[in-house]
Chains A and B, each alone.
Chain A
C-alpha cells in the first residue's frame, strides 16, 4: 500500500507509452514552432511563423525553390519580363497560370493582384509594414483583353524587381470587394493617403468589411489559392493545416517544385522550451525540430548516438553576425582606429564557442557561397592584438598608464581617451559571448569597454539615436539582394544606417551595385565595395550563423537550407519502407 502511488504512476505511464506509437500516422508531419504566429492576416505577417503559415494558405506570384535556391514561378506562369522606362522606372510584366483558381473554381486573375496591392496601400488597415515594403510599386496596368496579364510599374531600375515584385500573397477580390469598389482608386492615390478620408464611404466600408472578416484569426474567411487550409488553431498550442483534396496545381505536369504539397496534414506545435521540444522529438511526439541552438543540437546528437533515430543538419544561413562602430564619435572617426578595434574580435574562437564551429566566416556582407561576387582576395577578419596596437599608434593614439589617449587639435585641449560603450541585445547569449570576448581582448590592450545589454526594441531605438560606440547585432540577408542602402547609404542615416558611415564614393557604389544587372560589372563593383568596407571598417563582419535542424530519420525531402525557415515542410515525405505521406 505504501508504494501504491508508484505502481499507479507506472501503470498510467505504461498506458501512455503504449499510446505513443512511433510514427502514429504517416500522413502527418509535425513541426515545432517556438512561438505562435499570432496573426494570420496577409497584411500584417508579424513573424516568420506567420509568413510560413500564410505560404501554405496563399500563393504568391513567385516562390523560392529550396532545391535550386532560386525564385521560380508559382502563380505566375513564368518569370516576369523587365522593361526599363526612362531613367527612373521599371515595368515588370507577369502572366498568371491558366490553371490557377480559387477554391470556388473561379480563376485567379490580374484584377486579384491589383486588388491585393491596393489593399496593402489602403489606409485604415493594419498594413504599415507591408505598405513601406511595397511602396516601390507605383501602378498596376491591366489588359482587358488578357485578364491574366498585368504590368507593375516600379520606382527605380533595380534587377531585383524580377523577384521582389512577386513575393507577397495574392488575395481574392471577390471575398472582400465583390462590387469592385476599390477599382475606382489608383494604387498611387491610395499610397498617398495616410489616414482614411472622413467622407470616403467606399474605403470606410472596405475597411469595415476587412475588420468584420477578421482574417487575422479567421483565415478561412479570406480563402487563398494555396494547397492547405487551416482546420484548427489553438493559440499558443498548435495549428493544423490539411491539404485540399482538389488543388488547382495538382493538374500541372510536370509539377513545379514550388507547387508541391506532399503531406496530407501539417501540424505546427508551439513548444517554447527547447529542452521540452528535444525530448518530444526523441519520444516521436514531433517530427521536425528546426532553429536548434548549438547546445541543444550537440546534446540531442549525443543522446541519439545509440538509437540513431534522428537526422541532423547544419547549413550556413544568410544571417550575419557583425559589429558596427558609431563613426560620428570623434574617437571612431578615423578608419585606422576602427580597423584596430576590429582586430580585437576573434571570429574563429567565437564561432567555435557559440556555434560548435558551424557557420561560415566572411570578409564582408556578401555570403561566401555567392562565389561569383564574394571577394576572396581579402583577408578574413582575425584576432591580432599586436596589429591592433600598431594601428592605434598609427592613428595617433598613445598608450599611457591610464589607457590610450589622443591629443586633440588644438594641442592645449584635453586629450581624448579611448573608452568604449558596447551595446547588444540582451536576449541572445551569443551576443553576450561576443561582447565579453571583445571586452577581455580590449582590456588586455588597456582599452576599457562598458557593456550595455539592451532589450530588443529599446536596442533599435538606441542605435537609431546613436547611443552607442560599438554594437553587435545580427543582420538577415539573402543571396539575391545586393542592395546595401539600408546599412551603409547616407540616405538611410539614422533610420537604418546606424554606423552613420557614408562617403560619396560608397553611396555611388551602393547605387551602382543595386541597379547593375550585368553579372560581370556587378562582380567588379561588389568586389570593390567589399574592399572599401573592409578598409574603412564601419562594420566588422564576424560570421554567417548556421541553421540547425533535427528531424526523424525516416522523414525525407525536407530540403534543409540556409533560407528561412530552414526547411520546406510541404515537400516532406516519409521513407517508403514505412509508408508515404504523398496525397496524390
Chain B
C-alpha cells in the first residue's frame, strides 16, 4: 500500500510538472508578450512620450529575463529555418532549476515571490473549498437518501426536490452568487448578511464575523455542486434497492430506512467517491467566480487576474499546484475505493 501510494504521488508530481511545463512554454509563445500588459494600454494623449517604446519594452524584457530563448532548442524564423541549441541559458531551464530549489519564481506584476502569494490565497480558498465540500457531501447524503426512500415513481415533494436539483444544475455559479447576494445582502430584501466578505478592518474580523461572512460564498459553492452529488447518489441508491440482496432483506423484514442506510448506502457510495474526487476542479472553477463576487482574495481570483494580466509565472505556479492537488485527489479516491470495496486491489 505504501509503495503504491509513493508511486501515485510520484506520478502525480510528474504529471503536474508536465502540465505546468506545457503551460510555461505555450504562455511564452503567445503573440503579445507580458511586457505589453505591464507597460500599459495603447498610448494616449496624456504624455508626450510613449511608455511602451521599443527601448522600454527591451529593458523590461531584459529585467524579467524574457530576452533569453524560451527552451533548450528553438527554431529560427530566418530563411532557411533551422533548429538552434541554447544549452542551459534559457527561460525554461531557469524556471525548472528554481522549481527544484523550491522556488516558484516572481510575479511580473508585483515583483514578489510567488510562493507566499499562493500560500496567502490558499489560506482563503482552502476553508472555503473544504467547508463547501463537507457541506455538499452531507447535504447530498441527506437529499440522496430522501429522494431514494420514496421509489422511482413517487411524486409529491420528492418530485419537486428532484426538479429543483435538476434546475439548480442549470444555473451558472455567477448567477447563483448574485442571486444569494440580492436576497441576503440587499436593503430591499433580506438585509441579513454583509455584501462583501471579510470587511475592511482587521479588528472587525472576529471568528464569528469570519463565519458569518463565509455563509454566502460557501452556500453558493454547496448549491453549485450539490446536484452533481445528490442526483447520482439517489440513482445509485435506487439501483441498489432493486438488487436481489435488498429483496431478500425486505423479505426478512428489515425496515425500509435500515435497508437504505445500512445495506444500500455502503454499496451506493462507490460512484459518490468518483464524484467527490471530481469535486475539487468544480469547486476551484466555482471559486473564481465566488471569490470575485464576494471579494475574497483566494486562489481562483489570483489565477484569473494573473491570466488576464499576462502574469505567467503566477499562472504556471497556480497550474502546477492545482494539477498536483487534483492528481492527489484522484489517488485519494483510489485509496478510498479500495477501503470501501475490499474486492478492489490497488495495482502498481
Contact = CB atoms under 8 A, between A and B. Distances in A.
A276 B181 contact: yes
A389 B188 CA distance: 52
B51 A129 contact: yes
Interface in A76-91: none
A295 interface: no
A487 B47 CA distance: 11
B87 interface: no
Interface string A221-235: 000000000001011
Interface stretch (A6-14, A143-151, A252-260, A394-402): A6-14
A461 B31 contact: yes
A280 B32 contact: no
Contacts of A516: none
B200 A267 contact: yes
Contacts of B43: 486-487, 492, 495-496
B76 interface: no
Contact of A16 (B30, B58, B192, B302): B192
Interface string B45-76: 11111111111111110110000000000000
Interface string B21-45: 0000000001111001111111111
B120 interface: yes
A366 to B, nearest CB: 10
Contacts of B185: 279, 283
Interface string A246-283: 00000000000000000000010111110111011011
B190 interface: yes
Nearest to A37: B110
Given A39-B111, A126-B111, A283-B187, A133 B51 contact: yes
Given A13-B190, A481-B45, A128 B200 contact: no
Interface stretch (B89-97, B148-156, B288-296): B288-296
B202 interface: yes
A133 B52 CA distance: 10
A476 B45 contact: yes
Nearest to B185: A279
B45 A486 contact: yes
Contacts of B310: 457
B168 interface: no
B42 A276 contact: no
Contact of A460 (B32, B48, B200): B32
A98 interface: no
Contact of A132 (B49, B120, B196, B305): B49
Contacts of A216: 110-112
A374 interface: no
B63 A126 contact: yes
Contact of A136 (B49, B117, B215, B293): B49
A573 B299 CA distance: 37
B68 to A, nearest CB: 14
A181 interface: no
B198 interface: yes
A206 to B, nearest CB: 15
Interface in A109-165: 123-124, 126, 128-129, 131-133, 135-136, 158, 160, 164
A132 B51 contact: yes
A217 interface: yes
A500 interface: no
Contact of A269 (B56, B181, B200, B209): B200
A20 B194 contact: yes
Contacts of A483: 45, 48
Contacts of A307: 187
B193 interface: yes
Interface string A461-494: 1010000000001011110010111110000100
A136 to B, nearest CB: 7
Interface in A177-232: 194-195, 216-217, 232
Contacts of B301: 236, 272
Contact of A17 (B49, B192, B201): B192
Nearest to A9: B192
Interface string B167-195: 00000000000100110111110111111
A279 B193 contact: no
A13 B215 CA distance: 11
Contacts of A458: 30-32, 36
A30 interface: yes
A46 interface: yes
A478 B45 contact: yes
A276 B195 contact: yes
Interface in A1-50: 9-10, 12-14, 16-17, 19-20, 30, 35, 38-39, 41, 44, 46
A30 B59 CA distance: 38
A365 interface: yes
Contacts of B326: none
B13 interface: no
Contact of A235 (B41, B51, B120, B196): B120
Contacts of B192: 9-10, 12-14, 16-17
A459 interface: yes
A216 B109 CA distance: 10
B212 A16 contact: yes
A72 interface: no
Nearest to A16: B212
A217 B52 CA distance: 24
B42 A473 contact: yes
Contacts of A478: 45-46
A463 B31 CA distance: 13
B235 to A, nearest CB: 27
B135 interface: no
Contact of A285 (B49, B194, B212, B292): B194
Q: Which of A124, A487, A495, A514 has the most CB of B within 10 A?
A: A495
A144 B37 CA distance: 43
Contacts of B302: 236
B115 interface: no
Given A126-B111, A132-B53, A283-B195, A160 B48 contact: yes
A495 B46 contact: no
A345 interface: no
A580 interface: no
A407 interface: no
B297 interface: yes
B50 A486 contact: yes
Interface in A369-396: none
B39 A477 contact: no
B32 A457 contact: yes
Nearest to B55: A132
Interface string A434-468: 00000000000000000000011111110100000
Contact of A487 (B45, B54, B209): B45
A271 B110 CA distance: 19
Contacts of A232: 202
A325 interface: no
A234 B45 contact: no
A567 interface: no
Given A46-B109, A365-B45, A492-B50, A272 B295 contact: yes
Interface of B: 30-33, 36-60, 62-63, 109-112, 117, 120, 178, 181-182, 184-188, 190-196, 198-202, 209, 212, 215, 292-295, 297, 301-302, 305, 310
9 contacts: A12-B192, A128-B39, A194-B55, A240-B201, A273-B292, A283-B185, A283-B194, A457-B37, A486-B49
Q: Which 4 A-B pairs have the closest CB atoms?
A: A13-B192, A236-B297, A496-B43, A457-B36
Given A39-B109, A285-B194, 10 more contacts: A39-B111, A126-B63, A217-B110, A235-B117, A237-B295, A276-B181, A279-B182, A280-B196, A365-B45, A460-B41
Interface of A: 9-10, 12-14, 16-17, 19-20, 30, 35, 38-39, 41, 44, 46, 123-124, 126, 128-129, 131-133, 135-136, 158, 160, 164, 194-195, 216-217, 232, 234-238, 240, 267, 269-273, 275-277, 279-280, 282-283, 285, 303, 307, 365, 455-461, 463, 473, 475-478, 481, 483-487, 492, 495-496, 498, 514
